[in-house]
């Protein structure tokens, strides 16, 4: 049986499984930590690429990502501090500077993880300091039941991993800088790529980039 340990998050005693990631332990106990690249039901080691899940760990000199911090007995965590809030705000603004903001017409409106983070940390969805760099890429509705708007992609990689798990494996990352995006091999449409239409990608997407129409 998995060993149980006791940790403290924001002054609250939590029982967690030794070795599980702190982000998972916090979420399972109703403590919200912003996150995008670590997927909901996914287990294992996330890519730690979104840099939104920073927390303070007692005894450590700098904030660390909660999604890659294994839980050990006696861990003392603060989910908020000036440093953490600053890192999350900066990372979030960077993401939003490359995200086409159209909440009113977005299928994820109301369930979007970006909206949730903005609300939890009192952040603006619209960047204040950075210019918005729109990718200006075509929307792909070539597979029935799936719409892919790459202009809303936040590069969390959850769809790529879901697509691999489903067995299709047609999604991957391409390009660099603000043009980096999830696409298919050779930049073909989903229909041309060998996509089976399972919609696992849309279910995994935490924003409105990949959505289901049925
Ligand atoms: Fe930890 Fe993305 S959820 S870095």
pLDDT tens, residue by residue, 151-190:
999 999 999 999 999 989 999 999 898 889 999 988 899 9
* pLDDT (0 to 100) of residue 40: 63
Closest ligand 1 atom to 34 CA: 3
Predicted confidence band of residue 41 (pLDDT cuts 50, 70, 90): low
Tens of pLDDT along 78-89?
999 999 999 999
Mutate to test the pocket of ligand 1, among 21, 27, 38, 113 (most ligand atoms within 8 A of CB): 38
* Overall pTM surpassing 0.90 (yes/no): yes
* pLDDT (0 to 100) of residue 214: 82
Q: With contact defined as beta carbons under 8 Å apart, do 49 and 37 qualify?
A: yes
Mutate to test the pocket of ligand 1, among 27, 44, 46, 79 (most ligand atoms within 8 A of CB): 46
Q: How far is the CA of 192 from the centre of ligand 1 (A)?
A: 32
| 53 touches ligand 1 (CB under 6 Å) | yes
The percent of residues in the chain predicted with pLDDT above 70, rounded, is: 97
* pLDDT (0 to 100) of residue 42: 66
Spatial neighbors of 78 by CB under 8 A, at least 6 apart, are 9, 10, 55, 56, 58, 84
| 14 touches ligand 1 (CB under 6 Å) | no
Q: Comparing C-alpha atoms, which of 136, 164, 169, 131 is closest to residue 150?
A: 136
| 51 touches ligand 1 (CB under 6 Å) | yes
Spatial neighbors of 2 by CB under 8 A, at least 6 apart, are 17, 18, 19
Structure tokens at 32: 């919200």
Q: What is the mean pLDDT of residues 27-37?
A: 96
Angle, helix 82-96 to helix 113-120, in steps of 10 degrees: 150
First-to-last alpha carbon distance for the chain, in angstroms, is 41
Name the one residue in this structure whose structure tokens are 């501090």.
Answer: 81
Q: With contact defined as beta carbons under 8 Å apart, do 99 and 154 qualify?
A: yes
Q: How far is the CA of 1 from the centre of ligand 1 (A)?
A: 28
Mutate to test the pocket of ligand 1, among 33, 36, 88 (most ligand atoms within 8 A of CB): 36
Q: How do 146-148 and 210-212 pair as beta strands?
A: antiparallel
* pLDDT (0 to 100) of residue 43: 63
Domains, in order of start, for the chain: 1-134 (3.10.20.740), 135-214 (3.30.70.20)
* pLDDT (0 to 100) of residue 44: 64
Model ipTM value = 0.97
User: Would you say how long the chain is, in residues?
Assistant: 214
Is residue 1 over pLDDT 80? no
| 204 touches ligand 1 (CB under 6 Å) | no
Ramachandran region of residue 163, left (φ > 0), alpha (ψ -120 to 50) or beta? Answer: alpha
Tens of pLDDT along 70-128?
999 999 999 999 999 999 999 999 999 999 999 999 999 999 999 999 999 999 999 99
Q: How far is the CA of 170 from the centre of ligand 1 (A)?
A: 23
By the 10 Å C-beta count (0-12 exposed, 13-18 middle, 19+ buried), 11 is classed as exposed
């Amino acid at each position: 049986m998995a060993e149980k340990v006791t940790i403290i998050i924001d002054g609250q005693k939590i029982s967690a499984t030794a070795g599980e990631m702190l982000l998972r332990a916090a979420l399972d106990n109703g403590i919200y930590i912003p996150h995008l690249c670590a997927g909901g039901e996914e287990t294992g080691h996330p890519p730690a690429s979104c840099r939104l899940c920073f927390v303070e760990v007692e005894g450590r000199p700098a904030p660390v990502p909660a999604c890659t911090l294994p839980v050990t007995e006696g861990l003392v965590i603060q989910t908020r501090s000036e440093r953490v809030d600053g890192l999350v705000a900066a990372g979030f603004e960077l993401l939003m500077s490359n995200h086409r903001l159209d909440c009113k017409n977005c299928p994820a409106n109301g369930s979007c993880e970006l909206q949730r983070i903005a609300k939890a940390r009192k952040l603006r969805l619209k960047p204040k300091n950075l210019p918005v760099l729109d990718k200006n890429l075509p929307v792909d509705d070539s597979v029935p039941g799936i719409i892919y708007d790459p202009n809303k992609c936040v590069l969390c990689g959850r769809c790529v991993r879901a697509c691999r798990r489903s067995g299709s494996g047609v999604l991957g990352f391409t390009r660099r800088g603000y043009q980096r995006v999830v696409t298919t091999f050779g930049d073909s449409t989903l229909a041309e790529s060998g996509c089976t239409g399972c919609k696992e990608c849309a279910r995994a997407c935490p924003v409105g980039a990949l959505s289901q129409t049925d």
